[in-house]
Structure 1
Amino acid sequence: MPGLLVLMGSGETSPTMVEIHRAAARTLRAGARAVLLDTPYAFQENRADISARACRYFAHSVGLDVEVAAAITGADWVFSGPGSPTYALDRWADSGVAGDLRARVRAREGVTVLASAAACTAGLATVPVYEIYKVGAEPAWREGIDLLEALGLQAVLIPHFDNAEGGTHDTRYCYLGESRLSRMERDLPPGTAVLGLDEHTALVIDLESESVRVAGRGGLTVRRPGTLTVLPAGTHTDLAELRRLAEGRAGTPAPPQPSSSPETALSEVTLEESIRSCEESFKAAAAGPDMVAAAQAVLDLEVELVKWAADTEEDSGGVEQARELMRLLIARLGELASTASQHSQDLPALVLPLLALRAELRGKGCYDVADALREAMARGGVMVEDTPDGPRWTSVS
């Protein structure tokens, strides 16, 4: 079976990465055994929920039936993702999983997909992100499992390379920022490169042909003291070229190439961007007021929530942020109904789209959201009663 190593900067169970997962899964034999290593987040109280969401994602979106395990012996496809890199390192070293992962890459066999925290362990050293960013530990490296050594690469891998969550402070480079990364680079063995993977971006290495491609939204940065090369998404090259760049030798990286593969259809819009778009659409509609467009904006947001429900990347808080926005927009719909109730001649044109929105939400099984909409309308002076003949509304202003 062909060997494949896929490293992801983030978004591993999001719509943005579906086609990358599917392309990797297509290389598997029929009846292949697929294993999800839950070690990086095994310390979390919600580990079962994270695993369940990931398994649903791979089953429904990728077509892989995945089992959750702490070992990978006999697995054709292995995936590991979010959590704590150092927690995973400690347990993989004790259990032998680290050696098993290295053996897979050396043998050029099987599909190995590491993302986020798990991807952080792939180099000769690892960023202990929880300890540095969340606890305040002094910036220092931890030894990695060094899958890259088998590929002739002396490098560390840093996911979330273009992270911008900090807003007013620098959270690039997996939340290190420039000052801490620069300081830590001086502690690396001479000749070590930093491979930075942007969010929602994958480095796909065919272990047999040694072809390399960068897929997704961002790019792969090869960083050495005084030099920096960025391979944007769409770049097709090979391991020999990547080695030259990592060693600081002059290289000629292949430019991005048009592709006829399914990855040209990648969803390149993140949940954060979708939330912002829906919110802006709602504000514009409410200013009209255009209740049809406002209701559609809420529906669009609900569609995005469904699409991203399996996302296990918890630090960004995107799904919860979207839920909070939906509740806020529904409350705003109630306020619009209240304003409209003061002008009874305009009320039907504003209430009917809300009833249609509620019916669509109920039809999708989103009864809690539909109930919240009815309560918001009631606060706005529009009472909705469900009858055998359908909903009936009255104004109580």
Structure 2
Amino acid sequence: MHGALVLMGSGETSPTMVEIHRGVIGELGPKPRAVLLDTPYAFQENAADISNRARQYFARSVGVEVEVNGVVTGADWVFCGPGSPTYALDRWSGSSVPADLRARIRAARGVTVFASAAACTAGAATVPVYEIYKVGAEPHWREGLDLLAVIGLDAVVIPHYDNAEGGTHDTRFCYLGERRLSRMERELPAGTGVLGIDEHTALLIDLVDERVRVAGRGGVTVRTREGQSVLPAGSGATLDELRVLLRGEARLGEPAPVPRAAPQETLSELVEASERSFASALGSDDVSAATRALLRLEEDIAGWSADTEQDDGGPEQAREVLRRLIAALGTHTAGQALARLVPPLLAVREKLRCEGAYGQADLLREALVEGGVRVEDTPEGPRWSIDG
């Protein structure tokens, strides 16, 4: 049985990570026993829905049937993802889960995938991201599961390393920002480094061959008090080289360009592209092209519907954009129709006024107003606009 530990920065149930999942699961043989641990998000009211979406994602996109909260021991593949790192640690405390996870990593048997919140727990210490970022607690560490110690890595894991959701404020480093992370680093024991995993990126550790590689959109940053090195997507190293980097005993030079396929676009990028295409089409009065942009966006949203983490608002925010664009298309289409209809009606009204049939002219104007067309008489002639 293939032995691997996979740490993901985010996007674990999104289209960006499908090929990574397929690659590691493909080495497990037919019908592997796959277990999903829901612990990090079990406190949420929609926990069952998150689990169902994850199961559908792995069944449809990856080709594996997943059982929720099955027995870890003997499982071919174990997955744990979004939610609260500290909630998971509290629930696992006193249970057999931490020991079972360490045992499978020590034995180099099966694939263990920890992503997002779960990835936070994999190191010697854990970022209490909810408590610090959302509640305002003073920056501090919580003791982690330290799964990495089993393979000689003295590190903390920080997913969402390149997060940029904050816009005007620093949300890198799992929403800590540089100021808070720098302060927290000083509290780590000497020799403990940071493994920063970018969003939609994975660090794959082969436990048998003792090699690591980076896959996905971004990179993995090894950060110590002596400096930092970046392993870009497509690059690799030995496990021993990674140990040396984490101890601060060496640094990588400027990484050589790594040829790789164009990265899978995130949902937010797809939404932005659709908005640009839609606006360009409407600007050219090309309703067909605008409609095609909306249909592409709807397909993209469907493809991301299983995303359990929903970075940048996720599918729900994308649906809001889709509804807004549909309304804009309706308004534009109505405007095009009125542009063909209103001028002849105004010409009839002017003719009635010239003939002294003011009552009929006023009735025509009132009918236009009732239909949402505002008419303004000016010295240069009547002007019209769509009301509201």
Which category describes the TM-score, using the shorter chain as reference length? 0.7 to 0.9
Over aligned residues, Cα RMSD in angstroms? 1.8
Question: Corresponding residue for 1:101?
Answer: 101
Aligned partner of 1:141: which letter?
A: W
Q: TM-score, normalised by structure 1?
A: 0.83
Matches for 1:1-397 after TM superposition, within 5 Å: 1-69=1-69, 71-251=71-251, 255=256, 257-258=258-259, 264=261, 267-314=263-310, 316-344=312-340
Aligned partner of 2:172: which letter?
A: R
Q: Is the 8 A contact 2:225 2:248 kept in 1?
A: no
CA shift, 1:30, in A, is 2.5
Q: Is the 8 A contact 2:15 2:303 kept in 1?
A: yes
CA shift, 1:239, in A, is 0.4
Task: Give distance in 2, aligned partners of 1:290 and 1:66.
Answer: 45
SS at match of 1:338: helix
Task: Give distance in 2, aligned partners of 1:123 and 1:288.
Answer: 54
CA shift, 1:258, in A, is 4.2
CA 1:256–1:21 in structure 2 vs 1: closer, same or farther (change >3 Å)?
farther
CA shift, 1:73, in A, is 2.4
CA shift, 1:208, in A, is 0.1
Aligned partner of 1:317: which letter?
A: G
User: Which region of structure 1 is more displaced relative to structure 2, 267-276 or 248-257?
Assistant: 248-257
Percent identity of the aligned residues? 64
Unaligned runs of 5+ in 1: 347-378, 382-397
**Runs of 4+ with >4 A deviation:** 251-259
Question: Corresponding residue for 1:390?
Answer: none
Q: TM-score, normalised by structure 2?
A: 0.85
* Structure 1 residues 219-250: Cα deviation after superposition (integer angstroms, max 9, x where no partner): 00000114011111011211011111111112
Task: Give distance in 2, aligned partners of 1:274 and 1:309.
Answer: 14
Task: Give distance in 1, aligned partners of 2:310 and 2:40.
Answer: 13
Task: Give distance in 2, aligned partners of 1:51 and 1:7.
Answer: 19
Q: Is the 8 A contact 2:35 2:67 kept in 1?
A: yes
CA shift, 1:344, in A, is 3.5
Q: Is the 8 A contact 2:80 2:113 kept in 1?
A: yes
Q: Is the 8 A contact 1:211 1:236 kept in 2?
A: yes
Task: Give distance in 2, aligned partners of 1:36 and 1:119.
Answer: 14
Aligned partner of 2:50: which letter?
A: I
CA shift, 1:29, in A, is 2.8
SS at match of 2:28: coil
Q: Is the 8 A contact 2:230 2:252 kept in 1?
A: no
Question: Corresponding residue for 1:376?
Answer: none
Task: Give distance in 2, aligned partners of 1:178 and 1:318.
Answer: 25
CA 1:58–1:69 in structure 2 vs 1: closer, same or farther (change >3 Å)?
same
CA shift, 1:316, in A, is 2.8
Aligned partner of 2:155: which letter?
A: A
SS at match of 2:209: coil
Q: Is the 8 A contact 1:11 1:17 kept in 2?
A: yes
Task: Give distance in 2, aligned partners of 1:290 and 1:226.
Answer: 57
* Structure 1 residues 115-136: Cα deviation after superposition (integer angstroms, max 9, x where no partner): 0000010100000000100011
Aligned partner of 1:19: which letter?
A: E
Task: Give distance in 1, aligned partners of 2:223 and 2:32.
Answer: 37
Task: Give distance in 1, aligned partners of 2:61 and 2:288.
Answer: 31
